[in-house]
Amino acid sequence: MEEFFKILDDLQRDKGVEIQTSDHNAVKEYQRQALEQYRQLPVPDSRSKSWQKLAIQDINAVHFNLVKKPEVLRLTEKDNLEKVSGDHATAGSIRISEKSCQYWLDAALLKLGVILCDLGAAIEKHPDLVQSVMGAKLGAGMDKMAALTAGMSRHGFFLYVPRRVRIEKPIEVHTYLEENNSFLPMLGIVFLEAQASAPLISRLDSSLTDSSMGVFSANMEIKVGESASLQFIEIQTLGKSIWNFASENIILGDQALLERFLLDSGGKITKRYFSVGLNREGSQASVTGVYTSKEDQLFIYDTHQNHQASNTKSDLLFRGVLNQMAYSLWKGNVYVAEGTHGADGYQVNNNLMLAESAQAESIPGLEINSDDVRCSHAVTIGNIDPEQVFYLQSRGIDTEAAEKLIVGGFLQTASMRIKDHSIFEIVQAELV
Protein backbone atom coordinates (compact mmCIF):
# COMPACT_ATOMS: atom_id res chain seq x y z
CA MET A 1 0.00 0.00 0.00
CA GLU A 2 2.98 2.35 0.21
CA GLU A 3 2.79 3.20 -3.48
CA PHE A 4 -0.96 3.77 -3.25
CA PHE A 5 -0.73 6.17 -0.30
CA LYS A 6 2.30 7.91 -1.79
CA ILE A 7 0.15 8.86 -4.76
CA LEU A 8 -2.58 10.09 -2.40
CA ASP A 9 0.00 12.04 -0.35
CA ASP A 10 1.04 13.88 -3.49
CA LEU A 11 -2.58 14.76 -4.22
CA GLN A 12 -3.13 16.00 -0.69
CA ARG A 13 -0.10 18.29 -0.80
CA ASP A 14 -0.71 19.61 -4.32
CA LYS A 15 -4.46 20.17 -4.38
CA GLY A 16 -5.34 21.65 -1.02
CA VAL A 17 -8.54 20.91 0.87
CA GLU A 18 -10.81 23.95 0.75
CA ILE A 19 -14.42 23.03 -0.01
CA GLN A 20 -16.45 25.30 2.26
CA THR A 21 -17.92 28.49 0.83
CA SER A 22 -18.77 30.15 4.14
CA ASP A 23 -16.89 31.26 7.23
CA HIS A 24 -18.39 28.50 9.34
CA ASN A 25 -15.47 27.12 11.30
CA ALA A 26 -16.91 23.75 12.41
CA VAL A 27 -16.50 22.06 9.04
CA LYS A 28 -13.11 23.66 8.48
CA GLU A 29 -11.98 22.36 11.88
CA TYR A 30 -13.39 18.92 11.10
CA GLN A 31 -11.38 18.82 7.88
CA ARG A 32 -8.26 20.16 9.53
CA GLN A 33 -8.42 17.45 12.19
CA ALA A 34 -9.06 14.79 9.56
CA LEU A 35 -6.00 15.71 7.51
CA GLU A 36 -3.86 15.96 10.62
CA GLN A 37 -4.99 12.48 11.60
CA TYR A 38 -4.29 11.25 8.07
CA ARG A 39 -0.70 12.49 8.26
CA GLN A 40 -0.14 10.89 11.67
CA LEU A 41 -1.58 7.48 10.86
CA PRO A 42 0.92 4.95 9.50
CA VAL A 43 0.49 3.42 6.07
CA PRO A 44 -1.50 0.21 6.58
CA ASP A 45 0.42 -2.99 5.97
CA SER A 46 -0.01 -6.75 6.19
CA ARG A 47 0.12 -6.70 10.00
CA SER A 48 -3.38 -5.22 10.01
CA LYS A 49 -5.96 -7.93 9.32
CA SER A 50 -8.30 -5.51 7.53
CA TRP A 51 -5.49 -4.39 5.19
CA GLN A 52 -3.62 -7.67 4.85
CA LYS A 53 -4.91 -8.60 1.41
CA LEU A 54 -4.89 -5.01 0.18
CA ALA A 55 -1.23 -4.56 1.08
CA ILE A 56 -0.15 -6.93 -1.68
CA GLN A 57 -2.39 -5.52 -4.42
CA ASP A 58 -0.72 -4.01 -7.48
CA ILE A 59 -1.54 -0.45 -8.47
CA ASN A 60 -1.88 -0.19 -12.24
CA ALA A 61 -1.71 3.61 -12.24
CA VAL A 62 1.26 5.92 -11.75
CA HIS A 63 -0.96 8.76 -10.56
CA PHE A 64 -4.56 9.70 -9.76
CA ASN A 65 -6.40 12.86 -10.68
CA LEU A 66 -8.20 14.39 -7.73
CA VAL A 67 -11.57 15.47 -9.08
CA LYS A 68 -12.29 19.20 -9.02
CA LYS A 69 -15.17 20.85 -7.22
CA PRO A 70 -18.28 19.78 -9.17
CA GLU A 71 -20.54 22.00 -11.21
CA VAL A 72 -23.88 22.09 -9.39
CA LEU A 73 -27.21 22.18 -11.17
CA ARG A 74 -30.60 22.19 -9.49
CA LEU A 75 -33.19 20.54 -11.72
CA THR A 76 -36.93 20.79 -12.18
CA GLU A 77 -39.06 17.67 -11.87
CA LYS A 78 -39.31 17.46 -15.66
CA ASP A 79 -35.53 17.57 -15.97
CA ASN A 80 -35.32 14.91 -13.28
CA LEU A 81 -37.48 12.48 -15.20
CA GLU A 82 -35.30 12.92 -18.27
CA LYS A 83 -31.85 12.99 -16.69
CA VAL A 84 -31.66 11.51 -13.22
CA SER A 85 -34.37 9.15 -12.10
CA GLY A 86 -34.64 5.43 -12.72
CA ASP A 87 -37.76 3.50 -13.63
CA HIS A 88 -39.33 3.77 -10.18
CA ALA A 89 -40.97 6.85 -8.68
CA THR A 90 -38.84 9.02 -6.41
CA ALA A 91 -39.47 11.97 -4.12
CA GLY A 92 -36.09 13.45 -4.96
CA SER A 93 -32.85 12.57 -6.71
CA ILE A 94 -29.24 13.64 -6.71
CA ARG A 95 -26.73 12.49 -9.33
CA ILE A 96 -23.03 12.87 -8.59
CA SER A 97 -20.17 12.36 -11.05
CA GLU A 98 -16.58 13.58 -11.19
CA LYS A 99 -17.60 16.83 -12.93
CA SER A 100 -21.12 17.59 -11.79
CA CYS A 101 -23.83 17.32 -9.17
CA GLN A 102 -27.47 17.48 -10.29
CA TYR A 103 -30.40 17.30 -7.93
CA TRP A 104 -34.11 17.92 -7.50
CA LEU A 105 -36.71 17.56 -4.73
CA ASP A 106 -40.47 17.32 -4.84
CA ALA A 107 -42.03 20.76 -4.37
CA ALA A 108 -44.37 19.49 -1.64
CA LEU A 109 -41.40 18.29 0.42
CA LEU A 110 -39.64 21.63 -0.06
CA LYS A 111 -42.63 23.36 1.52
CA LEU A 112 -42.39 20.99 4.50
CA GLY A 113 -38.77 22.00 5.08
CA VAL A 114 -37.03 18.94 3.63
CA ILE A 115 -33.55 19.70 2.31
CA LEU A 116 -31.73 17.79 -0.41
CA CYS A 117 -28.64 19.49 -1.79
CA ASP A 118 -24.97 19.15 -2.65
CA LEU A 119 -22.23 19.30 -0.02
CA GLY A 120 -21.14 22.86 -0.80
CA ALA A 121 -24.68 24.24 -0.45
CA ALA A 122 -25.15 22.34 2.81
CA ILE A 123 -22.02 23.93 4.31
CA GLU A 124 -22.89 27.41 3.06
CA LYS A 125 -26.63 27.52 3.75
CA HIS A 126 -27.19 25.01 6.57
CA PRO A 127 -24.02 24.99 8.69
CA ASP A 128 -25.81 24.46 12.01
CA LEU A 129 -27.63 21.37 10.74
CA VAL A 130 -24.41 19.99 9.29
CA GLN A 131 -22.58 20.60 12.55
CA SER A 132 -25.30 18.85 14.55
CA VAL A 133 -24.50 15.64 12.66
CA MET A 134 -20.76 15.92 12.20
CA GLY A 135 -19.68 18.22 15.01
CA ALA A 136 -15.98 18.99 15.04
CA LYS A 137 -14.85 15.65 16.43
CA LEU A 138 -13.78 12.76 14.24
CA GLY A 139 -15.29 9.30 14.45
CA ALA A 140 -13.40 6.81 16.60
CA GLY A 141 -13.03 4.24 13.84
CA MET A 142 -11.59 6.55 11.21
CA ASP A 143 -8.65 4.90 9.44
CA LYS A 144 -6.13 6.52 7.10
CA MET A 145 -8.35 6.35 4.03
CA ALA A 146 -11.43 7.64 5.84
CA ALA A 147 -9.42 10.51 7.36
CA LEU A 148 -8.19 11.57 3.93
CA THR A 149 -11.72 11.37 2.56
CA ALA A 150 -13.07 13.53 5.40
CA GLY A 151 -10.41 16.14 4.76
CA MET A 152 -10.52 16.33 0.98
CA SER A 153 -14.15 15.80 -0.04
CA ARG A 154 -15.57 18.37 -2.43
CA HIS A 155 -18.37 16.08 -3.59
CA GLY A 156 -21.26 14.91 -1.49
CA PHE A 157 -24.86 15.41 -0.49
CA PHE A 158 -27.01 16.48 2.44
CA LEU A 159 -30.47 15.14 3.29
CA TYR A 160 -32.45 16.74 6.10
CA VAL A 161 -35.96 15.70 7.15
CA PRO A 162 -37.68 17.94 9.74
CA ARG A 163 -39.62 16.80 12.76
CA ARG A 164 -42.72 14.66 12.04
CA VAL A 165 -42.22 14.76 8.25
CA ARG A 166 -42.67 11.35 6.68
CA ILE A 167 -41.36 10.79 3.15
CA GLU A 168 -43.10 7.91 1.37
CA LYS A 169 -41.28 7.64 -1.97
CA PRO A 170 -37.51 7.04 -1.99
CA ILE A 171 -34.86 9.70 -2.17
CA GLU A 172 -32.28 8.41 -4.67
CA VAL A 173 -28.56 9.20 -4.69
CA HIS A 174 -26.77 8.02 -7.84
CA THR A 175 -22.96 8.25 -7.93
CA TYR A 176 -21.52 7.57 -11.37
CA LEU A 177 -17.79 7.25 -12.19
CA GLU A 178 -16.63 7.88 -15.75
CA GLU A 179 -13.08 9.29 -15.63
CA ASN A 180 -10.03 7.04 -15.79
CA ASN A 181 -7.41 7.27 -13.00
CA SER A 182 -9.60 9.58 -10.95
CA PHE A 183 -9.83 9.74 -7.16
CA LEU A 184 -13.29 10.79 -5.99
CA PRO A 185 -13.67 11.35 -2.22
CA MET A 186 -17.25 12.01 -1.13
CA LEU A 187 -19.10 12.92 2.05
CA GLY A 188 -22.77 12.10 2.63
CA ILE A 189 -24.70 13.62 5.55
CA VAL A 190 -28.20 12.52 6.60
CA PHE A 191 -30.21 14.02 9.47
CA LEU A 192 -33.71 12.90 10.44
CA GLU A 193 -35.33 14.90 13.22
CA ALA A 194 -37.64 13.36 15.82
CA GLN A 195 -40.55 11.30 14.45
CA ALA A 196 -39.40 11.78 10.85
CA SER A 197 -38.99 8.95 8.35
CA ALA A 198 -37.45 8.48 4.92
CA PRO A 199 -36.41 5.76 2.47
CA LEU A 200 -32.99 6.41 0.88
CA ILE A 201 -31.58 4.48 -2.08
CA SER A 202 -27.93 4.89 -3.04
CA ARG A 203 -26.62 3.57 -6.35
CA LEU A 204 -22.93 3.40 -7.21
CA ASP A 205 -21.75 2.38 -10.67
CA SER A 206 -19.43 3.38 -13.50
CA SER A 207 -18.83 3.37 -17.23
CA LEU A 208 -15.07 2.73 -17.01
CA THR A 209 -13.59 -0.13 -19.00
CA ASP A 210 -12.15 -3.13 -17.19
CA SER A 211 -8.61 -1.84 -17.77
CA SER A 212 -9.35 1.64 -16.35
CA MET A 213 -8.26 2.38 -12.79
CA GLY A 214 -10.37 4.42 -10.41
CA VAL A 215 -10.64 5.04 -6.68
CA PHE A 216 -13.85 5.98 -4.90
CA SER A 217 -14.04 6.68 -1.18
CA ALA A 218 -17.18 7.74 0.68
CA ASN A 219 -17.77 8.74 4.28
CA MET A 220 -21.35 8.70 5.57
CA GLU A 221 -22.43 10.54 8.72
CA ILE A 222 -26.02 9.77 9.72
CA LYS A 223 -28.13 10.90 12.66
CA VAL A 224 -31.61 9.48 13.30
CA GLY A 225 -33.59 11.35 15.93
CA GLU A 226 -36.09 10.28 18.59
CA SER A 227 -38.75 7.88 17.25
CA ALA A 228 -37.52 8.51 13.70
CA SER A 229 -36.95 5.76 11.14
CA LEU A 230 -34.52 5.49 8.24
CA GLN A 231 -34.54 2.85 5.53
CA PHE A 232 -31.21 3.02 3.70
CA ILE A 233 -30.59 0.74 0.69
CA GLU A 234 -27.28 0.75 -1.20
CA ILE A 235 -26.51 -1.00 -4.50
CA GLN A 236 -22.87 -1.05 -5.67
CA THR A 237 -22.12 -2.29 -9.20
CA LEU A 238 -18.80 -0.61 -10.00
CA GLY A 239 -16.44 -1.69 -12.78
CA LYS A 240 -13.93 -4.50 -12.32
CA SER A 241 -10.87 -2.30 -11.79
CA ILE A 242 -12.23 0.23 -9.28
CA TRP A 243 -11.16 0.34 -5.64
CA ASN A 244 -14.08 1.21 -3.38
CA PHE A 245 -13.70 2.42 0.22
CA ALA A 246 -16.53 3.30 2.60
CA SER A 247 -16.72 4.50 6.20
CA GLU A 248 -20.16 4.85 7.77
CA ASN A 249 -21.15 6.15 11.18
CA ILE A 250 -24.83 6.03 12.24
CA ILE A 251 -26.18 7.39 15.53
CA LEU A 252 -29.68 6.40 16.72
CA GLY A 253 -31.78 8.36 19.21
CA ASP A 254 -34.57 7.28 21.60
CA GLN A 255 -36.79 4.61 19.99
CA ALA A 256 -35.16 5.28 16.60
CA LEU A 257 -35.31 2.59 13.93
CA LEU A 258 -32.75 1.78 11.24
CA GLU A 259 -33.12 -0.64 8.34
CA ARG A 260 -29.80 -0.81 6.45
CA PHE A 261 -29.29 -3.01 3.39
CA LEU A 262 -26.26 -3.06 1.11
CA LEU A 263 -25.47 -5.06 -1.99
CA ASP A 264 -21.88 -5.23 -3.25
CA SER A 265 -21.41 -6.98 -6.58
CA GLY A 266 -18.92 -4.73 -8.39
CA GLY A 267 -15.47 -3.26 -7.93
CA LYS A 268 -12.08 -4.92 -7.71
CA ILE A 269 -11.81 -4.10 -4.02
CA THR A 270 -14.54 -3.15 -1.57
CA LYS A 271 -13.49 -2.19 1.94
CA ARG A 272 -16.16 -1.00 4.36
CA TYR A 273 -16.13 0.21 7.94
CA PHE A 274 -19.62 0.33 9.44
CA SER A 275 -20.65 1.49 12.90
CA VAL A 276 -24.13 1.92 14.34
CA GLY A 277 -24.45 3.56 17.73
CA LEU A 278 -27.59 2.60 19.63
CA ASN A 279 -27.11 5.58 21.89
CA ARG A 280 -30.56 5.99 23.40
CA GLU A 281 -33.05 3.63 25.04
CA GLY A 282 -35.24 1.56 22.75
CA SER A 283 -33.30 2.17 19.53
CA GLN A 284 -33.18 -0.70 17.03
CA ALA A 285 -31.07 -1.53 13.98
CA SER A 286 -31.49 -4.20 11.31
CA VAL A 287 -28.38 -4.40 9.12
CA THR A 288 -28.05 -6.66 6.07
CA GLY A 289 -25.10 -7.00 3.71
CA VAL A 290 -24.95 -9.11 0.55
CA TYR A 291 -21.81 -9.55 -1.54
CA THR A 292 -21.48 -11.56 -4.73
CA SER A 293 -18.30 -12.07 -6.74
CA LYS A 294 -17.74 -12.59 -10.43
CA GLU A 295 -13.97 -12.95 -10.52
CA ASP A 296 -11.04 -12.22 -8.19
CA GLN A 297 -12.77 -9.54 -6.13
CA LEU A 298 -11.94 -8.63 -2.53
CA PHE A 299 -14.65 -7.82 0.01
CA ILE A 300 -13.53 -6.58 3.43
CA TYR A 301 -16.03 -5.61 6.13
CA ASP A 302 -15.51 -4.28 9.63
CA THR A 303 -18.86 -3.91 11.42
CA HIS A 304 -19.65 -2.52 14.87
CA GLN A 305 -22.94 -2.69 16.79
CA ASN A 306 -22.50 -0.42 19.79
CA HIS A 307 -25.17 -0.72 22.49
CA GLN A 308 -24.62 2.41 24.56
CA ALA A 309 -28.11 2.46 26.12
CA SER A 310 -30.58 0.05 27.69
CA ASN A 311 -33.26 -1.96 25.89
CA THR A 312 -31.58 -1.63 22.51
CA LYS A 313 -31.60 -4.21 19.74
CA SER A 314 -29.33 -4.88 16.77
CA ASP A 315 -29.63 -7.67 14.22
CA LEU A 316 -26.85 -8.00 11.61
CA LEU A 317 -26.66 -10.47 8.73
CA PHE A 318 -23.87 -10.51 6.14
CA ARG A 319 -24.15 -13.11 3.42
CA GLY A 320 -21.75 -13.71 0.51
CA VAL A 321 -21.38 -15.87 -2.60
CA LEU A 322 -17.74 -16.28 -3.68
CA ASN A 323 -16.48 -17.68 -6.96
CA GLN A 324 -13.13 -18.17 -8.72
CA MET A 325 -10.33 -16.34 -6.80
CA ALA A 326 -12.63 -14.12 -4.74
CA TYR A 327 -11.86 -13.37 -1.09
CA SER A 328 -13.98 -12.03 1.75
CA LEU A 329 -13.18 -10.96 5.29
CA TRP A 330 -15.90 -10.05 7.75
CA LYS A 331 -14.98 -8.81 11.21
CA GLY A 332 -17.89 -8.01 13.49
CA ASN A 333 -18.17 -6.75 17.03
CA VAL A 334 -21.14 -6.33 19.34
CA TYR A 335 -20.38 -3.93 22.20
CA VAL A 336 -22.58 -3.47 25.28
CA ALA A 337 -21.72 -0.59 27.60
CA GLU A 338 -21.42 -0.91 31.36
CA GLY A 339 -24.52 0.02 33.35
CA THR A 340 -26.98 -0.88 30.60
CA HIS A 341 -29.62 -3.60 30.71
CA GLY A 342 -31.82 -5.44 28.21
CA ALA A 343 -29.42 -5.19 25.24
CA ASP A 344 -30.13 -7.67 22.44
CA GLY A 345 -27.37 -8.00 19.86
CA TYR A 346 -27.00 -10.62 17.15
CA GLN A 347 -24.57 -11.01 14.26
CA VAL A 348 -24.20 -13.72 11.63
CA ASN A 349 -22.01 -14.20 8.57
CA ASN A 350 -22.84 -16.86 5.96
CA ASN A 351 -20.62 -17.67 2.99
CA LEU A 352 -21.41 -19.91 0.03
CA MET A 353 -18.28 -21.04 -1.84
CA LEU A 354 -18.65 -21.85 -5.53
CA ALA A 355 -14.99 -22.68 -6.18
CA GLU A 356 -12.16 -24.28 -4.23
CA SER A 357 -9.95 -21.28 -5.04
CA ALA A 358 -12.30 -18.83 -3.29
CA GLN A 359 -11.58 -17.89 0.34
CA ALA A 360 -13.68 -16.54 3.19
CA GLU A 361 -12.71 -15.51 6.71
CA SER A 362 -15.12 -14.59 9.49
CA ILE A 363 -14.15 -13.09 12.84
CA PRO A 364 -17.13 -12.42 15.15
CA GLY A 365 -16.67 -10.67 18.47
CA LEU A 366 -18.62 -9.83 21.62
CA GLU A 367 -17.54 -7.17 24.12
CA ILE A 368 -20.04 -7.32 26.96
CA ASN A 369 -19.79 -5.08 30.01
CA SER A 370 -23.21 -5.83 31.51
CA ASP A 371 -24.88 -8.93 32.95
CA ASP A 372 -28.40 -8.33 31.64
CA VAL A 373 -27.91 -9.00 27.92
CA ARG A 374 -28.84 -11.37 25.14
CA CYS A 375 -26.02 -11.36 22.60
CA SER A 376 -24.79 -14.06 20.22
CA HIS A 377 -23.14 -14.68 16.88
CA ALA A 378 -22.93 -17.36 14.19
CA VAL A 379 -20.74 -18.12 11.19
CA THR A 380 -21.08 -20.60 8.32
CA ILE A 381 -18.75 -21.26 5.38
CA GLY A 382 -19.75 -24.03 3.01
CA ASN A 383 -20.31 -25.30 -0.51
CA ILE A 384 -23.48 -26.01 -2.44
CA ASP A 385 -25.16 -29.04 -0.92
CA PRO A 386 -24.98 -31.90 -3.46
CA GLU A 387 -28.16 -33.40 -2.03
CA GLN A 388 -30.03 -30.21 -2.90
CA VAL A 389 -28.63 -30.36 -6.43
CA PHE A 390 -29.63 -34.03 -6.73
CA TYR A 391 -33.15 -33.26 -5.52
CA LEU A 392 -33.60 -30.56 -8.16
CA GLN A 393 -32.12 -32.79 -10.84
CA SER A 394 -34.67 -35.44 -9.93
CA ARG A 395 -37.33 -32.85 -10.77
CA GLY A 396 -35.94 -32.40 -14.29
CA ILE A 397 -33.68 -29.40 -13.63
CA ASP A 398 -30.15 -29.55 -15.07
CA THR A 399 -27.09 -29.05 -12.86
CA GLU A 400 -26.31 -25.46 -13.85
CA ALA A 401 -29.89 -24.31 -13.37
CA ALA A 402 -30.10 -26.19 -10.06
CA GLU A 403 -27.02 -24.42 -8.71
CA LYS A 404 -28.40 -21.03 -9.80
CA LEU A 405 -31.63 -21.76 -7.95
CA ILE A 406 -29.73 -22.67 -4.78
CA VAL A 407 -27.60 -19.52 -4.96
CA GLY A 408 -30.69 -17.42 -5.66
CA GLY A 409 -32.47 -18.84 -2.64
CA PHE A 410 -29.42 -18.27 -0.46
CA LEU A 411 -29.35 -14.56 -1.40
CA GLN A 412 -33.11 -14.07 -1.44
CA THR A 413 -33.32 -15.06 2.22
CA ALA A 414 -31.20 -12.01 3.03
CA SER A 415 -33.11 -9.62 0.76
CA MET A 416 -36.43 -10.72 2.29
CA ARG A 417 -35.44 -8.75 5.39
CA ILE A 418 -36.42 -5.62 3.40
CA LYS A 419 -39.92 -4.73 4.56
CA ASP A 420 -40.96 -2.34 1.76
CA HIS A 421 -42.20 -4.40 -1.20
CA SER A 422 -41.31 -1.86 -3.90
CA ILE A 423 -37.75 -1.52 -2.62
CA PHE A 424 -37.50 -5.29 -2.23
CA GLU A 425 -38.30 -5.64 -5.94
CA ILE A 426 -35.55 -3.15 -6.83
CA VAL A 427 -33.01 -5.23 -4.93
CA GLN A 428 -34.32 -8.50 -6.37
CA ALA A 429 -33.80 -7.18 -9.89
CA GLU A 430 -30.12 -6.63 -9.07
CA LEU A 431 -29.71 -10.14 -7.65
CA VAL A 432 -31.06 -11.92 -10.74
Give dist(CA 354, CA 349) in Å, integer: 16
- My answer on whether 273 and 400 are in the same domain is no
Distances (CA, A) of 153 to 68, 187, 337, 402: 10, 6, 33, 46
- My answer on whether 395 and 273 are in the same domain is no
SS3 content of the chain, % helix, strand, coil (to 5): 25, 40, 35
Any domain includes 327: no
Any domain includes 289: no
Any domain includes 88: yes
Any domain includes 188: yes
Provide the whole-model pTM. 0.93
Any domain includes 372: no
Distances (CA, A) of 242 to 268, 277, 357: 5, 30, 22
Any domain includes 42: yes
- My answer on whether 10 and 132 are in the same domain is yes
Predicted local confidence at residue 15, as pLDDT: 53
- My answer on whether 402 and 272 are in the same domain is no
User: Of 247, 280, 313, which residue is a domain's last?
Assistant: 280
- The identity of residue 147, as a single letter, is A
* Ranges of the chain with pLDDT below 50: 17-22, 81-86
Predicted local confidence at residue 135, as pLDDT: 66
User: Of 280, 310, 328, which residue is a domain's last?
Assistant: 280
For 280-427, list the strands marked E by DSSP: 284-292, 298-307, 313-322, 327-336, 343-353, 359-363, 366-368, 373-383
- My answer on whether 26 and 170 are in the same domain is yes
Number of domains in the chain: 2
Predicted local confidence at residue 267, as pLDDT: 93
Any domain includes 377: no
Q: Are 330 and 363 in contact (CB under 8 A)?
A: yes
Any domain includes 335: no
- My answer on whether 404 and 273 are in the same domain is no
Domain range enclosing 413: 385-432
Predicted local confidence at residue 60, as pLDDT: 67
Predicted local confidence at residue 22, as pLDDT: 45
Predicted local confidence at residue 77, as pLDDT: 62
- My answer on whether 273 and 417 are in the same domain is no
User: Of 280, 301, 327, which residue is a domain's last?
Assistant: 280
Give dist(CA 318, CA 305) in Å, integer: 13
Predicted local confidence at residue 24, as pLDDT: 57
- My answer on whether 11 and 128 are in the same domain is yes
